[in-house]
Amino acid sequence: MNNMNFNKFTPIVTGTPTVHVKPKQSTAQPNADFMKILLDSCEVNFSKHAVNRVLERGVDVSEGSLERLDDGIKLAEDKGLSEPLILIDSTAFIVNIRNNTVITAVTNEDLRGNVFTNIDGTVII
């Protein structure tokens, strides 16, 4: 028999080799002034996803709209909702009441043709 060394391992590759590419991490950081306004002006928190959506979609987060959002959250909480869709003019916010956190924000252009799931009520302010 041949003098083979069975301790060595030589992989056999068939087909086209695949390359694993790590997905690009977003390098866009939210504007520090914008984050300060969100944290100081409002009792509700914004998830990282929601902050990105607000920046991408140009959502109105003026003091007046944040006060209306707070009012909508209080109404939803009073009615026993846990994850409502809160409509303020032409912007929709999905909020987790238990964590007091906005999950996402959608503007008028993105509302058309959208289906909102995993909500248990809607508050229109």
pLDDT-derived band at 37, boundaries 50, 70, 90 = low
| Nearest residue to 86 via CA among 62, 56, 121 | 121
- The answer to whether residue 8 scores a pLDDT higher than 80 is no
Read off the tokens for 67. 């006060």
| Out of 29-43, 61-75, 77-91, 105-119, least confident range | 29-43
Domains and CATH numbers, the chain: 44-124 (3.30.2310)
Q: How far apart are the first and last CA of the chain?
A: 85
Q: Is pLDDT larger for residue 20 or for residue 93?
A: 93
- The answer to whether residue 22 scores a pLDDT higher than 60 is no
String of DSSP letters for 5-66: -TT-------SPPP---PPPPP-PPPPHHHHHHHHHH-SSEE-HHHHHHHHHHT----HHHH
Question: Residue type at 89?
Answer: D
The partner residues of 42 in beta bridges, in order of sequence, read none
What pTM does this model have? Answer: 0.67
Sheet of 122-124: strands edge to edge?
Answer: 45-46, 101-106, 91-96, 85-88, 122-124
Average pLDDT, the chain: 78
